[in-house]
Amino acid sequence: DLFLVLDLEATCTKCRSLYPIEIIEVSALLLDAHSLATLGEFQSHVRPTEHPLLDPFCVELTGIEQEQVDTAPLLGDVLLRFQQWLEGLGAFGGAKSLLPVTWTDWDLKICLETECGWRQLPRPPYLRRWCNLKRVYGARYRRASSLQKCVEALGLRWQGRAHNGLDDSRNTAMLAVRMVRDGCVLTVTDSFKDTVPSTDQ
């Protein structure tokens, strides 16, 4: 059984007036749910098409530079590469179960779902259900705030910068490992109604 710890970064402005927002980075770690070992990492920038010029606020927040998205593949191509990466690690083989893990519901319930909708891209079936780690954290420890504060509250050292997709994925994975070792059970916290029921973790 596997945990897919996922983080998306998207276009943004300080006043939050941008529409539509577009994914500009997809990052993930694949963890063995039993040994809690990291099996692989994925990171790709994504080229926005509706608002191709990044707002200075977005550049400062995410650390993503304009030239990185200018030369990046489109979202459909990144999702295909992402699936191929998972296939290469045997994530869909046999009786294995794959549980996506995100810090909030935003990544999969809002961000990816909305953009796949208006771009008319097929929704990845393995991302239709997920574990919101922030909700599990709040139930087990205390009221959850930011990812960084929750990481540090458990005595863990934050790595890298906030809102860098790969760093956020690594820190979320580190927190998830600690939580599982503390006895937390990671399971599906939300899903879309078209999801086929499955027993995981």
Would you name the residues annotated as active-site residues?
Answer: 9, 163
The CA-based diameter of the chain, rounded to the nearest angstrom, is 47
Question: Please, what is the end-to-end C-alpha distance for the chain in angstroms?
Answer: 7
